[in-house]
């Protein structure tokens, strides 16, 4: 029996985009068992939402995540529209679809770049980041922002797709059809990248079902699941979407990291096709049902009930459930279930039989969004009590006074006994 030792990957780690800890028990380089401990980036967004009215919460929901900011916004808005029975003009639905697909390209390109970075393939990482700039430029042209677009609102969208923007999007589609193939070939046909990604972090089809994987993670394991197909929303009702599964393109679905890479790469091409169809079929008409926000707010104040919004975010299915109480300005409660929450439970399964070198790649392979996922914190209650912002400020100042007065917190001997050079 070899001795094992435990090593944390995270919470702050070069290979990870966001703080999460995987405690790996290692026998040499081989992973014996893994325990994933999130909880480093909980921000209490739902709590904040209870002090805000639905329109303010739109902009709060945008800040759940930096990558799928539009998915969360749209999900929240659809939940409110569901409970208040607000109608959305067809043109607005098409524009929402367009932005969703732009965001999908943005997210998948970022992920592909980061996956390359994780295996030390920096050249491909920089290539991916450079290509991502283009889609961010288009989003900036549409909304004025690169990350939090502020596009959607209740009953429509805030920005119209002008002919100039349509032209820019078409040019972007051409750009990606031209420029994306070299990137795909560089990575997927590179012997080192193949060696690093093939048969690593395998999630079998059965395990994907058992652990409720969603989105590209499930599709890479061979499951034909895509909410855009099974429960179409917005313009997806007019534009048929086929789930992309590896067995349609390669011989079989292995459910490894290379399959997840392939699925996301192919989804970029799919998103380009969808965007083209959206632009071709963009109907004329208004893009906002009710421009007067006060009227919208007044109607929402009267609304009562629970609404659901479920969409296919770039990382899997994103679900928001919102409850409003009649006569109250603020959101009563709000539940966010981000795709990472469903996918993260598969991590320990994926870790089995792999090496330490694979760990960051496996964590990244589901495209985790930890800040999306962390919706609640459990403490042991030993430090019960709420510290307000004022308290924190007071404690902070007190500590500075203490330090100046020569009182140091336990164990620290002050600045006088400096370490010898």
Partner 1 sequence: MTSIFILFLKIFVGLMLMALVVVLALLFDGVDRIFHARMQRRVGPPLLQPVYDIVKLMGKENIVPRRASRFFFMLAPWLALVVTAMIFLYIPVSSSRAVLGTEGDMILIVYLLAMGGVVMAVGGFASGNPIANIGAGREITLMMSYEFPLAIVISTLAWVAYKSGMPGSPFSLETFASGSVWRAVGEVGDVGLVCLFLSLAFVVPGETGKGPMDIPEAKTEILDGLIIEYSGVNLALLKVTFALRSFAISAFMTSLFVPVSLAGIVGTGGFFIAVFDFLFFWVKVFFVQMIFVTLMRTSFGRLKIGQASRLYVMKVAGLSVTGMILLSIDVMTR
Q: For binding to partner 1 (CB under 8 A), which residues are involved?
A: 5, 7, 13-15, 26, 28-29, 116-124, 126-127, 130, 190, 192-193, 195-196, 355-360, 419, 421
State which residue, 162 or 194, has the beta carbon closest to partner 1: 194
State which residue, 116 or 142, has the beta carbon closest to partner 1: 116
Minimal distance, residue 360 CB to partner 1, in Å: 6
State which residue, 4 or 145, has the beta carbon closest to partner 1: 4
CA 148-154-156 angle, to 5 degrees, is 85
Helix (H) or strand (E) holding 269: helix 257-280
Q: Are 364 and 115 in contact (CB under 8 A)?
A: yes
Minimal distance, residue 323 CB to partner 1, in Å: 42
State which residue, 119 or 342, has the beta carbon closest to partner 1: 119
Minimal distance, residue 118 CB to partner 1, in Å: 5
State which residue, 164 or 418, has the beta carbon closest to partner 1: 418
CA dihedral 92, 216, 59, 308 (to 10 degrees): 70
Kindly list the distances between the CA atom of residue 182 and the CA atoms of 67, 172, 225, 265, in Å, as whole numbers in the listed order.
24, 16, 29, 12
Nearest-angstrom CA–CA distance, 231 and 155: 20
Buried/exposed code over 153-188 (b: 16+ C-beta within 10 A; e: otherwise): bbbbbbbebeeebeebbeebbeebeeebeebbebbe
Minimal distance, residue 124 CB to partner 1, in Å: 8
Minimal distance, residue 355 CB to partner 1, in Å: 6
Minimal distance, residue 32 CB to partner 1, in Å: 14
Nearest-angstrom CA–CA distance, 297 and 312: 27
Minimal distance, residue 64 CB to partner 1, in Å: 26
Classify residue 244 by its DSSP letter. Answer: P
Helix (H) or strand (E) holding 92: helix 90-118
Q: Are 96 and 152 in contact (CB under 8 A)?
A: yes
State which residue, 282 or 356, has the beta carbon closest to partner 1: 356
State which residue, 79 or 112, has the beta carbon closest to partner 1: 112
Minimal distance, residue 268 CB to partner 1, in Å: 20
Nearest-angstrom CA–CA distance, 29 and 162: 55
- Which residues are registered as beta bridge partners of 337? 319
Minimal distance, residue 28 CB to partner 1, in Å: 8
Number of other residues whose CB lies within 10 A of the CB of residue 149: 22
Single out the residue of 17, 23, 93 nearest to residue 372, CA to CA.
17
State which residue, 132 or 196, has the beta carbon closest to partner 1: 196
State which residue, 16 or 271, has the beta carbon closest to partner 1: 16
Nearest-angstrom CA–CA distance, 176 and 131: 8
């Amino acid at each position: 029996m070899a001795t094992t030792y435990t090593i944390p990957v995270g919470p702050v780690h070069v290979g990870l985009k966001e703080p999460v800890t995987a405690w790996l028990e290692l026998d040499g380089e081989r992973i014996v068992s893994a325990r994933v401990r999130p909880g480093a980036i909980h921000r209490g967004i739902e709590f904040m939402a209870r002090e805000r009215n639905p329109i303010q919460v739109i902009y709060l929901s945008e800040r759940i995540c930096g990558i799928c900011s539009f998915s969360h916004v749209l999900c929240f808005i659809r939940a409110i529209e569901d409970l208040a029975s607000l109608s959305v003009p067809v043109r607005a639905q098409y524009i929402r679809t367009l932005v969703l697909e732009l965001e999908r390209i943005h997210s998948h390109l970022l992920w592909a770049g980061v996956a390359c970075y994780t295996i030390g393939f920096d050249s491909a990482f920089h290539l991916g980041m450079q290509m991502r700039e283009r889609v961010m430029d288009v989003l900036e042209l549409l909304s004025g922002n690169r990350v939090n677009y502020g596009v959607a609102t209740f009953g429509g969208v805030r920005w119209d797709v002008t002919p100039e923007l349509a032209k820019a999007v078409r040019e972007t589609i051409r750009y990606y059809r031209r420029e994306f193939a070299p990137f795909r070939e560089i990575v997927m046909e590179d012997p080192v990248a193949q060696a690093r990604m093939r048969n690593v972090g395998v999630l079998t089809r059965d395990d994907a079902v058992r652990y409720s994987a969603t989105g590209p993670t499930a599709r890479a394991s061979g499951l034909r699941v895509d909410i855009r197909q099974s429960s179409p929303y917005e313009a997806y009702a007019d534009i048929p979407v086929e789930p992309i599964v590896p067995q349609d393109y390669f011989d079989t679905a292995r459910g490894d990291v290379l399959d997840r890479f392939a699925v996301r790469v192919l989804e970029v091409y799919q998103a380009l096709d969808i965007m083209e169809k959206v632009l071709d079929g963009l109907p004329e008409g208004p893009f906002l049902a009710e421009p007067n926000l006060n009227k919208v707010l007044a109607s929402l104040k009267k609304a009562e009930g629970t609404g659901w919004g479920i969409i296919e975010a770039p990382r899997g299915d994103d679900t928001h459930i919102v409850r409003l109480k009649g006569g109250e300005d603020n959101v009563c409660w709000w539940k966010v279930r981000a795709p990472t929450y469903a996918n993260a439970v598969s991590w320990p399964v994926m870790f089995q039989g792999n090496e330490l070198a694979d760990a960051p790649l496996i964590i990244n392979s589901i495209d985790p969004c930890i800040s999306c996922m962390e919706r609640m914190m459990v403490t042991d209650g030993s430090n019960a009590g709420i510290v307000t912002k004022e308290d924190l400020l007071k404690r902070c100042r007190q500590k500075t006074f203490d330090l100046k007065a020569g009182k140091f917190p336990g164990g620290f001997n002050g600045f006088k006994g400096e370490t010898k050079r």
